[in-house]
Structure 1
């Protein structure tokens, strides 16, 4: 048997990481999606994807950061799928608004979460990746599979929609 054929099973390493990483992965997802059931489903999908990835040769460096990266991709995939469903149901195009004004108001986290939940999946994804995860626009564009210019426009529309929803919710 060749040395390549005799590889240690990556399962025990992933299992050892599981106990430490589960609360962190779940917490990451829950903080971004705000719904327990969805965070639980995405956490399960994250670990299933990790099992599949751990069987590659050579296996990836398994750590919490790697799992959070997988979780981020699962969340983006979820938002993309949700957006495709919503787009199929929408008959009217969104009105594009562009303006440059830094919104420096104090934002109530509870109202902000409620307003974010009312946004389209694509707007939620863009706003979360940009402002909660702190990713630069280029990385947000890559995560969403869009060009940088399209992502800038999307962020502008999403910011305007969030701002309108937040202003309506505070009153």
Structure 2
């Protein structure tokens, strides 16, 4: 009689990487959302999602960069959910954009973070993915589940709102 062949659970590879990757994944999320509780929740979702993904056929090799990619998707999912909730609660009127581009000047990082937190969730998401993560508009659109043209329009409105708030914050300081 032959021994039964048991396949090891692919999620064990993730378990071996957990202690090393946890601070990096958490740090990535905390730096982008600025909220410890939310970063902890998203980190948990990231690892749970990674376990499910590891068990699928043709799963990619488990690594810290792959986990950061999973975390980026979880953060984008959060922003989409929050955006839907926000749209359900109030109607946002978008102002017309000005010609001047504020991204040519140097920004104070702390003030920029404070201003970013005052913007709508969709504006936070598009600006963070584009300018903090450095993703091209095509990838930002894919993460947010939008068309490229809709993402470009959102990015224009977000930059306008950011510039307006950043300048007002500067005058108040």
Are the aligned partners of 2:102 and 2:163 in contact in 1 as well (CA < 8 Å)?
no
Alignment root-mean-square deviation, CA: 1.5
* CA shift for structure 1 position 170: 1.5
Distance in 1 (CA, whole Å) between partners of 2:35 and 2:43 is 12
What is the CA deviation profile of residues 132-171 of structure 1, one whole-angstrom value per residue up to 9, with x for unaligned ones? 0101111111111111111111100000000111111112
4+ aligned runs moved over 4 Å, structure 1: none
What is the CA deviation profile of residues 21-76 of structure 1, one whole-angstrom value per residue up to 9, with x for unaligned ones? 00110011011001111111100000000111111123321001110011000000
Distance in 2 (CA, whole Å) between partners of 1:53 and 1:13 is 12
Matched length = 167
* CA shift for structure 1 position 102: 5.3
Q: Which moved more, 1:25-34 or 1:87-96?
A: 87-96
Q: Where in structure 2 are the equivalents of 1:2-151 lying within 5 Å? A: 6-97=6-97, 99=99, 101=101, 103-151=103-151
Are the aligned partners of 1:45 and 1:74 in contact in 2 as well (CA < 8 Å)?
yes
- Secondary structure of the structure 2 residue equivalent to 1:94: coil
Distance in 2 (CA, whole Å) between partners of 1:6 and 1:103 is 56
Q: Which moved more, 1:140-149 or 1:124-133?
A: 140-149
Which ranges of structure 2 fall in alignment gaps of 5 or more residues?
A: none
Distance in 2 (CA, whole Å) between partners of 1:63 and 1:98 is 43
Q: TM-score, normalised by structure 1?
A: 0.92
- Secondary structure of the structure 2 residue equivalent to 1:103: helix
